[in-house]
Amino acid sequence: MRTLVVTENITLDGVIDATEGWFLPSGESGVDESDMLAALQEQAAASDAFLTGRVTFEAMRGYWPHQVDDTTGNTAHLNRVAKYVVSTTMTDPQWENSTVLSGPLAEEIRALKEQAGQDIVVTGSITLVHELMSSGLIDEYRLFVFPVVLGRGRRLFEEGTDLPPLRLLEARPFRSGVVLLRYAGR
């Protein structure tokens, strides 16, 4: 059975909404982020599928396939892996190796998890992640905690979220001040 992994950039106060630009893409902070990039590349190597909601998918589809000078490996990885977009309105994803999931969410995700393969990674997609949480489908959380406090914005764990205790798998600090926290979700 495959592992469903939620990977999020998150502030110290739990915000994952990036509309305010509180984190910079790798290499733009002026700090040596090679250790964090190595961790991201490890995670990419362990996955062969990407799951996302329509809004995040459309933003990524408009950016990643057009990158020609990406030295991080993100473009190659995202173009290669199977991409699954959850949407009831999209019919043609217009990105290679992409499939639209429009059926009952829990059934579709359980079927994906039962297929042979590596990790299925979800990033961004706040609404989708909240649905996956409430359905008990998340196997692991990988949180890149940035040393930022916003005090506002959409949070990973909203008020009223009820989850069983998470089990820490790893805590890895990076030179940038970001810390990767990995938790078993079930």
Dist. CA 154–CA 145, nearest whole Å: 15
Tell me if the pTM is above 0.85. Answer: yes
pLDDT tens-digit profile of 70-128? 888 888 899 899 999 999 999 999 999 999 999 899 999 999 999 999 999 999 899 99
pLDDT tens-digit profile of 144-153? 999 989 888 8
Domains and CATH numbers, the chain: 4-17+31-184 (3.40.430.10)
**CA distances to 4, 49, 128, 146 from 132, in Å:** 10, 16, 6, 23
